[in-house]
Chains A and B, each alone.
Chain A
Amino acid sequence: MSKFTKFLSMVLVLVMAVSLFVGCSSGETTTDEGAQGGETVEKNKIGVFVPLTGDQQQYGVMIKNAIELKVKQYNEANGTNYVVEVFDDKGDPKEAVNVANLICSDPAMICGMGSYASSCVLSAAPVFEEAGLLLFSPGASHVDVPKAGNYIWTYAQPITNECKAMCSAISEYTDNAPLGVIYQSTDHGILTNDATVEYYPTYGGEVVASETFIPGDTKDFKPLLSKLAEAGAETVFISSTYSDGAQIILQAADLGLDFQFFTNSQLMVDSFPEIVGDKADGLIATSSLAVYLQTTLENEEAYNTLSDAEKAFVESFKEYSGGDNPDTNAVLAWDATTILLDMVAGVGTDSDALVEALPEYLLNAEGMFCAKILSVEDKVITRDVTLYMLQNGAFMKYTL
């Protein structure tokens, strides 16, 4: 072998070694098919973090199934290969930080989606913000979520906005009857009560009493109900879980109190009418989310109000999740994933581009199952609400 051949061989080996090294360490130069091109790691993962163990597991599974199903159907229809990688945050804010670090350290991640609880989103937010990776939460409704960083977005509207719509409905339906509030002593309950106390008077009504309770501990609501009656309340707004809400209504019936009850989407679960029977007939609930309860689906009149797309979604979800109907978390996750995938197809996988495009995509989203988004101001979503009335054990859409 001549000296030139030796030299050439060594140069070639060096070039190959360098190129191999560059290929292996290409995590920082990820491919963005739509925008950058030319790099070796393809960004095709969606990092989903939800509680898959613990007492919030049922909600986490709903979110996971909806995102997986949407991505699966999208891949089949468009020939793409997006991958959903699911992490268990156990519903624990500390664990959410660990999981966020795992997602943000993977260069193939397009964005993070999660979690069920706002507290987990808020604790994971600084990690995503520092990494410059979009965190698009399907359902975190705490008012602080949109303020948590430039890359932190939520598809849910804040509790306060929904309360505003509820106060408007109560005012219109009852002609500003004196209102009492019963709320659980949680972040959600306290914010709901504060917003109700603030907004109801703006529509001309008066909140005559607000009573709180500890969810899980308080079983006897009769003293609270008597207090509301004593204060002159004719209408009562309940902010609680379905089991406590059912107790409140049953115990009011026991006391012979004939309140007109209002609530938000928290009571809109199949178990609620099972417990209260016909004693909650006439209850009005507001929801900005689509509700597909078994009791409603079995009701021919209610089922016929669904669009073909909704019927197809419910059927495919039931098939994918082994017979479970999609709950509100699943619907939020489905819609949010639809918007995300459309957006990626439009602007690519770069988080800055996604963040810039999000308001427009949120406002112009087509075929969503949740109510239409009316505005996106300072990252805060306001959407229409739908009224439902409980009649013969089924939540029926209701117009004032």
Chain B
Amino acid sequence: MFIQQLINGITIGCNYALVAIGFTMVFGVLRLVNLANGSIFALGAFFTLIIYTAMQGHFLLSLLCAILATAFVGVMVDRLALYRLRKKGAARVSGMITTLAIATIIDNAVIILFGSQTRPFKRPKDFGNILIGDAVVGKLQIYILLSILAIVLILSYLIYKTKLGKSMLATAQDPEAAMLMGISVNRIISLTFAISAALACFAGSMIGLYYQAIDVTLGTSIGMKTFAAAVLGGVGSIPGAFVGGIVVGVIETFVAVYLSSGLRDAIAFFILIVVLLIKPAGIFGKKVVEKV
């Protein structure tokens, strides 16, 4: 049972990790807690489902279209709601409250457009299982793990090894200095939102595929867990968000099995509190000294 639960926990954790990476990227660049991330996650899953249903079976193509559409929504969130706040030099808390409002708008739009009922998310085919000892592991789980790992590696390369990534890091470090160096800060921020939304869409679609159903509460339940994952790993750190996501997924699975199933959804909050008390910067985070 241990191996079975470990694999289940890692599968769920990888999805948390992907959303947490998007969350941490936006925070890293803008110092903004994006509370709309969970809602974009659910919206992305619905986009994939609707396109997949319309295309009658071309899952990968549907996923690609949905990722592009969700990335566009991410860019629009920034351009329509947050850009003006930045331009006016509004306090960071205004941005956070704005993302909360955006989350409400997206959630309600999903209800209006797609309905409040749970929608079946049919798998393109029966992937089958393999046995590892006594543990039954779905091949789909392995595909999800591998694809998420590949995305994280590509993203890490993009951010830490390319000029574009260096522009993002420079914007995160000092937007004004980055602008003086010829970096289009607004474009970089929009791109960050696009990547964050695209990751959320991919994770949402994988969750839909894994659970074979999606509903509007999908984003609500994952929102706080990914927040906890990002804080645990160190907000702003991509490897941190990845590790944090997996740790949260595995811990909540083990808590359900070995402690109490009633506690599993509370464990993310417990982790959040413990990290904030003991190591507020998180596992991979660096202590930042704010000059005044």
Give me the interface of A with B, judged by CB distance under 8 Å: 55, 185, 211-214, 216-220, 222-224, 226-227, 230, 242-243, 246-247, 250-251, 254-256, 271, 274-275, 277
Contacts and interface: CB of A to CB of B under 8 A. Distances in A.
Contacts of B213: 243, 246-247, 250, 275
Contacts of B212: 250, 275
Contacts of A246: 118, 213
Interface in B236-280: 253, 256-257, 261-262, 264-265
Given A212-B261, A250-B212, A223 B5 contact: yes
Contacts of B1: 226, 230
A214 B262 contact: yes
A223 B1 CA distance: 9
B207 interface: yes
Contacts of B108: none
B170 to A, nearest CB: 38
A361 to B, nearest CB: 37
Contacts of B136: 254-256
B44 to A, nearest CB: 16
Given A185-B262, A256-B129, A275-B213, A220 B253 contact: yes
B256 A214 contact: no
Nearest to B221: A217
B253 A214 contact: no
B217 A216 contact: yes
B30 interface: no
A256 B8 CA distance: 14
A370 B138 CA distance: 43
Nearest to B122: A277
Nearest to B253: A223
A220 B8 contact: yes
A359 B49 CA distance: 52
A382 to B, nearest CB: 31
Contact of B262 (A213, A247, A271): A213
B150 to A, nearest CB: 23
Nearest to A271: B117
A227 B253 CA distance: 11
B162 interface: no
A218 B118 contact: no
B118 A216 contact: no
Nearest to A222: B8
Given A224-B256, A256-B129, A219 B118 contact: no
Given A246-B118, A271-B117, A275-B212, A219 B264 contact: no
A243 B129 contact: no
Nearest to A57: B116
Contacts of A271: 117-118
A54 to B, nearest CB: 11
Residue of B118, B122, B207 with most chain A CB atoms under a 10 A cut-off: B118
A226 B118 contact: no
Nearest to A269: B117
Interface residues of B, number: 30
A277 to B, nearest CB: 8
B186 interface: no
Contact of A243 (B4, B5, B215): B215
B220 interface: yes
B199 interface: no
Contact of A211 (B8, B218, B261): B261
Nearest to A272: B118
Contacts of B253: 220, 222-223
A226 to B, nearest CB: 6
A216 B265 CA distance: 10
B221 A223 contact: no
A134 to B, nearest CB: 34
Nearest to B260: A212
Contacts of B129: 254, 256
Contact of A220 (B12, B117, B119): B12
B57 interface: no
A392 B185 CA distance: 57
B221 A216 contact: yes
Residue of B12, B129, B212, B253 with most chain A CB atoms under a 10 A cut-off: B212
B124 interface: no
Contact of A216 (B120, B207, B220): B220
A55 B220 CA distance: 16
A217 B265 contact: yes
B261 A224 contact: yes
A247 B211 contact: yes
Contacts of A212: 261-262
A275 B261 CA distance: 24
Contact of B8 (A185, A213, A223, A277): A223
A223 B117 contact: no
Contact of B261 (A227, A243, A251, A274): A227
Contacts of B4: 222, 226, 255
A220 B5 CA distance: 11
Contact of B257 (A226, A251, A274): A226
Interface string B193-212: 00000000000000100011
Interface string B103-137: 00000000000001111101000000100000010
A78 B99 CA distance: 59
Contacts of B221: 216-219
B211 A274 contact: no
A243 B264 CA distance: 19
B263 to A, nearest CB: 10
B187 to A, nearest CB: 36
A227 B257 contact: yes
